Amino acid sequence: MGMKINNKNTGKLIIEINSGYADLRYADLSSADLHSADLRYANLRYANLSSADLRSADLRYADLRSANLSSADLRYADLRYANLPKTDIIINDRFHIHISPDFIRIGCERHKISWWKDLSVTQAAAKYSAGEWWEQWKPVVIAIYDTIKERTL
């Protein structure tokens, strides 16, 4: 069964995939509507996924090394076993997010993972006026960190 990938802003067809395995290396999928897409095992290396809607996408085992994920919406995306960079990932949204095996920096705050895991939505709202933002991004940041950390062990 095929999958059509459309631009989320214009609705224009970007690409149609006819097989279970998607080789999307170097593909320009910026602003693509990939909401709930089945991209298991997809090769997305060097793909431009900036501003792509990847909410609830299945990215298990996908190769995302060197992919551009700036401003991509990764809420509820399944990143288990995804091939993410072994070192750093940088995501741009409201705050610049830098994730490495040793620390996470969001905006000007740089801390170990335990600090971020303990940061509640209420605390983020009170200290940074970012409660809604943290509610959206906390699970994504933690999932990406866990994947990177697991790969460096």
Predicted local distance difference test score (pLDDT) of residue 48: 93
Say what the pTM is: 0.64
Which of 83, 104, 130 is where one domain is finished?
Answer: 83
Which of 52, 83, 114 is where one domain is finished?
Answer: 83
Domain containing 16 equals 1-83
pLDDT means per 10 residues, the chain with 153 residues, are 77 76 90 90 92 91 88 86 69 76 88 96 94 91 84 65
Predicted local distance difference test score (pLDDT) of residue 146: 86
Task: Give the span between the Cα atoms of 89 and 144, in whole angstroms.
Answer: 8
Consecutive H or E run containing 9: none
Total domain count for the chain? 2
Predicted local distance difference test score (pLDDT) of residue 85: 65
Task: Give the span between the Cα atoms of 143 and 139, in whole angstroms.
Answer: 6
Residues 73 and 130 in one domain: no
Predicted local distance difference test score (pLDDT) of residue 115: 97
Residues 56 and 103 in one domain: no
Residues 11 and 67 in one domain: yes
Predicted local distance difference test score (pLDDT) of residue 112: 95
Residues 76 and 104 in one domain: no
- For residues 10 and 30, the answer to whether their CB atoms sit within 8 Å is no
Task: Give the span between the Cα atoms of 110 and 100, in whole angstroms.
Answer: 11
